[in-house]
Structure 1
Amino acid sequence: MSTDTDRRRTILLVNPNTNADTTDRMVAKANMVLTGTGFRTVGVTAARGPKMIVEPQALENSARWAVDAAMVGIDRYQPVAVIVSAFGDPGADELRSRVEIPVIGIGQASILEAAQDGRRFAIATTTGLLADAMNDLVQWYCPTGDYAGLWLTEGDPLTLAQDTTASVSQLGSAIDGAVAAGARAVVIGGGPLSEPAQVLSLRTDATVIEPIPSAVRKALAEFSVSECSSTRS
């Protein structure tokens, strides 16, 4: 059973995909970022939907299941913040209307981090059918940003998700295209793509933005702000 101290320092990660193994990997990545902070991440997985969201209808449908999973997790863990860990941020807006703690989408966080200080940025992703949804996120969260555009890999995203070597090769080519267009930061558009993103960050002069660490950093920042506000009031 969690103690009150555990709960006060818990961040809930919601996986809108139904693959529990993916949830575990994303939670592990988040907890690496939290090392030494006194916080922890716990994960919940959507009960229904695809194992990996790769097309617009699945993204739209996943919102309700993400919200349901999040509400169960919030009731159980009493977290200080929630991370919606699919790049289209499904269900994030509804959650914000239902809870008072920060709700961070990994798309939101990584786009804002990539665009900071006015730098030119781009997105590289394996899920080409979600291109419009990703471009819409940029317009929503960063309408005046210096956006170089979206670069896509070739081949089936489900296959690439199981093959890190192929993902590194394909995403590397996408990053090269973005850098050639002037991007100084490139977001890797997908929560389960942290491993290839980490490899690629060592192979390019551009800053490679991993969505989950971005979301964790934003959650910590928002928690710190809310703590200061609460102390002063």
Structure 2
Amino acid sequence: MVNSAQTHLLLRGCNSFLVNNVVVESPANSPNTDGIHIHSSTNIIITNSRFASGDDCISIGDRISNIRIDNVECGPGHGISIGSLGRQGNQVQVEKIHISDVLFKGTTNGARIKTWQVGRGYVRDVIFENLMFDGVQNPIIIDQSYCDVRNACKEEETGVEISNVRYREIHGTSSSEMGINLNCSRSVPCNEISMESIQLTSIDPGKDIVAGCANAYGQEYQVSPSPCLLN
């Protein structure tokens, strides 16, 4: 699939759907050209595929359960994103997402979860594992205050609850100073976050990178950069 006007492949209202051996190619500066967007679907497998786009390689929308993504290459693009979710203040239902064996090459983001403060509901039971980053700007990121204007979101008392998210066996390089960025809500914090066997370094030899967590609770083992999570 080459140079779609917008999203290359939309999966909506699907059950037991397989995407295998698919290649998407669009320029890095092409707007809104997600490789695959998934919405209102369950039991989806995406495997053995390669995505180059100007937006998310794969984006996961609302009313989702049992999604498996593995053996995928992503780049250029905005990474693999759960969200954005809850923009209209709706009740979000996203669970049982397993993302593994992915190579991110020069992407804006890597493993990302993004929700709007006005949203409600939950994102839970998510696994990111065996990921490799090659010059990724935001390798690991949760943004519970996603909005149209970066860093200008009005703080709300609502939020989408994010819980039981596991990151393990993740390695590679960051093109920015912030290798891990978990920006969670003060009103609805992130809980049961687990990080294990993570080694991220700067793409520039000799430079240090950092981890930043706000209102994110969990445990971490053998993680660099560290520390980050609250107990």
TM, length-normalised to structure 2: 0.28
Q: Hey, which of these two has a bigger chunk of helix by percent?
A: 1
TM, length-normalised to structure 1: 0.28
Structure ranking higher on relative contact order (CA contacts 8 Å, 6+ apart) = 1
